[in-house]
Each structure stands twice: as structure tokens, then as C-alpha cells.
Amino acid sequence: MADSCIYLDHAATTPVDDRVLDAMLPWFRGNGAANPASGQHSPGRSAAAAVDTARRQVAELIGADSTEIVFTSGATESCTLAIRGLARAAGTGHIVTVAHEHPAVLDPIRRLEREGHEVTIVTPPASGVVTGAHIASAIRDDTILVSVMWVNNELGTINDMASIAATCQDRDVALHCDATQAVGKIPIDLGTVPVTVLSCSAHKLHGPKGVGALFVRGGPATTRLQPIIEGGGHERGLRSGTLNVPGIVGFGEACAISNREMDVESPRLASLRDRLEVGLQERLDAVSVNGAVATRVPTITNLSFGGLVGPEPLVNRLAGVAAAAGSACSSSREGPSHVLAAIGVPDHLAANALRLSVGRTTTTADVDQAIEAIVAAVGC
């Protein structure tokens, strides 16, 4: 970290793992920097082979085939490609999503609404955990697309994707899943969960920023999905533009590490997250966890601190700890978190909520120091 602040904002982004950085470096320099589309020469073919390896590593982490992976610049682009791409292919029709989705999903859907699509925004339950039953009642005969995230980025709550995907499959509706906060955090097997398209991003699992992927079931040729970026026909025509080879290699390596280490890493992270929660609850009155406690990724907790008054939100008074009040991407927007509002957290509790998220480099000492800093901030 650039300063001594304790970094508990891994849901916003994670530091690049040293092993990932080592894997990336050769692809910036010398012949390694060749364009993977330059199949006429061996440096180009080597770069293409490195991309193929990464494509396989990403696919393996989510139980997909490497032909089903399209590289993008990140989850925001993947979500837009999925949502606009499917809507454009369908022409007209009704779209379903959920009120506590990320802006990367809500904003393109709102734009489609302005362009004439009818939209239903489902209210999630107080637990934050959405199931197939919540979605089933919103699907109509003319529904062309359902978009539901796997893990909520502010709460860490895990939606029941198996039942949501089964519901969409039964009703023959395409399902986009924003799995940005799920990939690398919980096991995902797209061989058994029939989502149509799925978005993810390298920088949430200790990979580099600016690279992501869209899983497209059956590959770009079989799913009705139109590109939003056209040019050289890269990524089988779905996403034109010279491939970011170092970024893609880093994404692949980050996926391979998560695949190997998740079983050991997840319980360690969950115990750090629990130590943080219990430590704060022991020292402070009225600390409540927002969203379902039992159905969460190991890395995220979202806490409200009752009884706090004053105009300045707790996150702004916190010194020495990097935490968030909501998602990094929406924190520039005015007002309390739309996620907490959607699950019915009262404004006075939402105003002082903290999202704390641990990661691979977080230690017990970090957690203990963070508890002291938060207790001090609540007291002042």
C-alpha cells in the first residue's frame, strides 16, 4: 500500500498478487509485447498461446469451456455487452432486474427503459438474498432478459443462483449474472447452474484492473448476442480491439491461484471477518449486520452503528482504515446506499453504515487495529 492505512476495502479492488505480477511482466517487454492477432510470426503466436492459457484458467475457475470466455476491459463492459447485446438482438421486450444490483447493471437497463423497453425492478427481501421465487413472479410472456447478481457488492450476500437460473431456464428467458464479487470467492460451476451470460473482473481477485470477461454459454456463435464494440472482429466478433495480453495473462493466473487456494483461503478470511464483527460488537452497543449473516462471501461485512448522530457519516470520521460506505463505483453519487435502502435499512442506520472487506494480505493484527480505529471514530 502507498500509505500505512489498514486496507479493508477489498470489495472495491484488491492488490495484485505478486505471483500474478510476475506472470504478467514478460508480456510487456520485447517480443512478449507482440500482438496475439499477428499469427504470421512466432512472437504473435506465443502471445496468442498465452491468451489461450488464460482463457482456459478463467474457464476452469467457473466450470465453463474456454470457447465460452470473451475478454473485455472489466465487469462494467461485460455487463453492458450482456445487457445491451441481448436486448439489441431481441429488438423489443421486457427486462427484469433487482433493486440492489450494481450500477453496472442498473444503468444500462435504465437506458434501455428510456429507449422503450419495459422494465420490472424486483425489491429484494430484507436478507438481501434473492431466490428463483422472487424472480418468477416478475417474468412475463414477453420477458427477454433477467439480470441478477451472484453476490451483492455492498452486503456480500449470496443470491440463490441455482434456483434463479432454473426459473429462467423453465421460462425460456436469457439470464445475465453479474458475478464480479463471486468469482474467486465462492465455488462456481456453470456446468450445473444454467446462466446464459456471466460477467466478472480480474481486479476483485488479486488480478489487474482493466480486464474482465463475459462467459457466453455455448460460445459467441450460439448465443443471440450483438457486439457493442466493433472493429477488427476480435473475440470471435463479440469484442473488437487488440487484446490486453499482460492483463489477460494476469487474470488467468489470478483465477488459477483462486482455484487452487480457495478451500484454504476462504475459512481464513471468514475468521478474520468474524473477528472484526465480534470485536466491534463486544466494544460497541447497537452494532448490527446488514443482510443475511449466514449466506455471505467470507470477505465482506456491512455494519450499521446505532445511536450515532451528527451530519458527518462515520466513514468520513474514520482515520487509518480504508473502508467504504457503499460501493466505490456509486460513492460519488449523492445520498445513502441504494442497496441498504432496497433491503429496508432505515436512513439513520444506512447513513453510518460501513462496508469492511478483507483480502489475501489482511492479517489478524490489521483487524485488531481496525477495531481500535473504528471504536475511536464511533466515540468521537
Ligand X SMILES: Cc1ncc(COP(=O)(O)O)c(C=O)c1O
Name which position in 24, 58, 61, 104 contacts ligand X (CB under 6 A).
Answer: 104
- Measured from the CB atom, the residue of 34 and 95 that comes closer to ligand X is 95
Closest CA to 246 of 3, 13, 71, 78: 71
Question: All 3 cell numbers of residue 35?
Answer: 500482438
From 75, 148, 177, 377, residue interacting with ligand X (rule: CB under 6 A): 75
What's the sign of the alpha-carbon dihedral 127, 133, 139, 140?
Answer: negative
Decide whether 70 or 75 has the Cβ nearer to ligand X: 75
- Give the whole-angstrom CA distance, residue 90 versus residue 136: 20
Collect all residues with Cβ–Cβ distance below 8 Å to 107 and sequence separation of at least 6: none
Q: Given the rule CB under 6 A, which of 21-29, 71-79, 128-136, 183-191 is the region that contacts ligand X?
A: 71-79
Stretch of 113-121, 292-300, 312-320, 323-331 contacting ligand X, by CB under 6 A: 323-331
Binding mask 328-367 for ligand X (x = CB under 6 A): xx--------------------------------------
Contact between residue 53 and residue 26 where contact means Cβ atoms under 8 Å apart: no
Binding mask 112-151 for ligand X (x = CB under 6 A): -------------------------------------x--
Pick the closer one to ligand X by CB: 249 or 308.
Answer: 249
Pairwise CA distance, residues 182 & 156, whole Å: 9
Under DSSP, the state recorded for 248 is H
Marked catalytic residue, from 79, 168, 255, 329: 329
Nearest to 164 by CA among 149, 153, 152: 149
Distance spanning both ends of the chain, measured CA to CA: 27
Q: Does 291 bind ligand X (CB under 6 A)?
A: no
- Determine phi and psi for 66, rounding to 5 degrees: -65, -20
C-beta closer to ligand X: residue 77 or 93? 77
Shorter beta-carbon distance to ligand X: residue 76 or 167: 76
Q: What is the contact mask toward ligand X in residues 195 to 234, using x (rule: CB under 6 A)?
A: ------x----------x----------------------
Q: CB under 6 A: which stretch of 68-76, 86-94, 115-123, 188-196 binds ligand X?
A: 68-76
Cell numbers 465460452 correspond to what residue? 68
Residue 56 · residue 213 · CB < 8 Å: no
**Candidate list 74, 85, 93, 279; residue touching ligand X; CB under 6 A:** 74
Among 199, 197, 256, 233, smallest CA distance to 50 is for 256
Selected binder of ligand X within 55, 94, 102, 185 (CB under 6 A)? 102
Number of helices (H), then strands (E), in the chain: 11, 12
Torsion of CA 232, 233, 239, 245, to 10 degrees: -70
Is residue 168 annotated as part of the catalytic site, yes or no?
no
Of 27-35, 136-144, 174-182, 263-271, which segment contacts ligand X by CB under 6 A? 174-182
CA distances from 30 to 43, 44, 240, 322, 364 (A): 9, 12, 24, 38, 42
CB of 344 to ligand X, least distance (A): 20
Residue ranges binding ligand X (CB under 6 A) = 74-76, 102, 104, 149, 153, 178, 180-181, 201, 212, 327-329
Residues with catalytic function: 329
